[in-house]
Amino acid sequence: MKNGAVKIFTLALLCFGSLMAIEKTSKDIFGKWQKTQRVFDRVNISKQKDLFSHKQFDSKKAEGPYEQLEQLLSKSSSFDQIENNLNDLIEQIKTIKDFATDKTNKKEKTEVFNDVLARYLVIFDTVFNSTDYYGIKRKFIFNVANKFSQYCFAPNTNKFFKVLLNNNKYHPIVRMLYAIIWKHLSGIGWCHWSQECLSNIKKKTKQKHEIVYIAGGSDIYQLLTNGVYNIRVIDPQLTTQPKYYSEGWTFLINGNVGDTIKIPEANLILTRISQTKTEKTFKAPVSRTEKESIPEETIVWKISNIQNPKNKLGRVTFERRFAIQKDFEIAPQKTILLSFNELYFIAAPSNFEGWGIDPDKFDRNIQLYIKQLHQPINKKMVLNMTDAIKSKFSFIKLGTNTVFAPGH
């Protein structure tokens, strides 16, 4: 085919693509995030104590060990300790009669798992409950979960946490910590964001960093509306996970060059500029016994202002594949982002449902931004989580396997 004919054929394809282009809105694509997703500020827990109606006990001595735990947590001094020195509070919890004991641990191990989990969630829900401040309460416990996760895995306090992990009689305390961490950072917190995390990521964007969002699915709405315009999402986008993606997620990865998404609340328009399939495929589970071959592909959207769509502000790139070790290599102008739920599968060995990533190979200077955590975590924190996963303690995985949607 001669050059002139090639040009005509190319122009024809572009014209045909533009005729096929579809326009959507942020509500069509990100409606789920707009309705359910929350962005929580960091709060000083100590300064929140006067906002809550602490439960009043009829006697100075509660009846049982769990009532004593609730009584201790309801004291305003406990708010100070959670904020400033959580280990002081843990040491007080250790002295509760009949609570941190081998007997209680054996009792909880024989109980129905959900009953044990609910017990600790209800205790905190009661202690920190106030009907007039429901929104504040949610934000408050989100911050408590942040503090608990820091206590468990940060290098300066992990040594105290290991004492709990390595002693059976202290395992009820670990169950208490894990119940709050899992519930508010993974269980119901899997879709929520820390505003401080978003602000820190925006600062990286201003330094010309690309935000590499590992296992980010379709969760780019808060990034875009917070001024983050250079995003690479590495996620297989499995058809078994509609529950965990926004309603219009398939449009982000399937369509035609020229498709657009208007986000009027942020004065942005996304335009699909390419969709390229590689020669590789990957196998993904579609049921407990079946796998499906999915072609790897890369989809690129240009980010512009609505009034000036030709003026490129940045781009969103979707790489439809599983994450690999190389994705965690650090590089200039690269910031790695993931959810707390996925952090578990990065830290977990393969025999604990891990993704085959070895955090021991991470660069010592790596920083991982976790969307629910106010501050990024380092290599040592990930390895501390790995050690906790491999410990003799067993209760709840801090990450939930989302491969299978209900019905699979």
- In this predicted model, what pLDDT tens digit does every residue of 175-188 receive, in sequence order? 999 999 999 999 99
Q: Tens of pLDDT along 142-163?
A: 999 999 999 999 999 999 999 9
Give the pLDDT confidence score for residue 6 in this predicted structure: 46
Instruction: Provide the pLDDT confidence category of residue 205 given band limits of 50, 70 and 90.
Output: very high
Instruction: Decide if pLDDT at 407 tops 80.
Output: no
- The residue ranges of every structural domain in the chain are 40-187, 193-390
Q: How far apart are the C-alpha atoms of 362 and 102, rounded to whole Å?
A: 38
Give the pLDDT confidence score for residue 402 in this predicted structure: 58
Give the pLDDT confidence score for residue 142 in this predicted structure: 95
Structure tokens at 91: 């040491």
Q: Tens of pLDDT along 338-380?
A: 999 999 999 999 888 899 999 999 999 999 999 999 999 999 9
Instruction: Decide if pLDDT at 61 tops 80.
Output: no
> H/E/C letters for each residue in the chain?
CCHHHHHHHHHHHHHHHHHHCCEEEHHHHHHHHHHHCCEECCCCHHHHHHHCCCCCCCCCCCCCHHHHHHHHHCCHHHHHHHHHCHHHHHHHHHCCCCCCCHHHHHHHHHCCHHHHHHHHHHHHHHHCCCHHHHHHHHHHHHHHHHHHHHHHHCHHHHHHHHHHHCCHHHHHHHHHHHHHHHHHHHHCCCCCEEHHHHHHHHHHHHCCCEEEEECCCCCCHHHHHCCCCEEEEECCCCCCCHHHCCCCHHHHHCCCCCCEEEEHHHCEEEEEEEEEEEEEEEEEECCCCCEEEEEEEEEEEEEEECCCCCCEEEEEEEEECCCCHHHHCCCCCEEEEECHHHHHHHHCCHHHCCCCCCHHHCCCCCEEEECCCCCCEEHHHHHHHHHHHHCCCCCCCCCCCCCCCCCC
Give the pLDDT confidence score for residue 243 in this predicted structure: 76
pTM of structure: 0.90
Instruction: Provide the pLDDT confidence category of residue 102 given band limits of 50, 70 and 90.
Output: very high
Q: Tens of pLDDT along 209-236?
A: 999 999 999 999 999 999 999 999 999 9
**pLDDT averaged over the chain?**
89
Residues with Cβ within 8 Å of residue 192, at least 6 apart in sequence: 37, 38, 39, 40, 142, 371, 372
Phi, psi values for residue 228, rounded to 5°: -100, 115
Structure tokens at 50: 């006067």
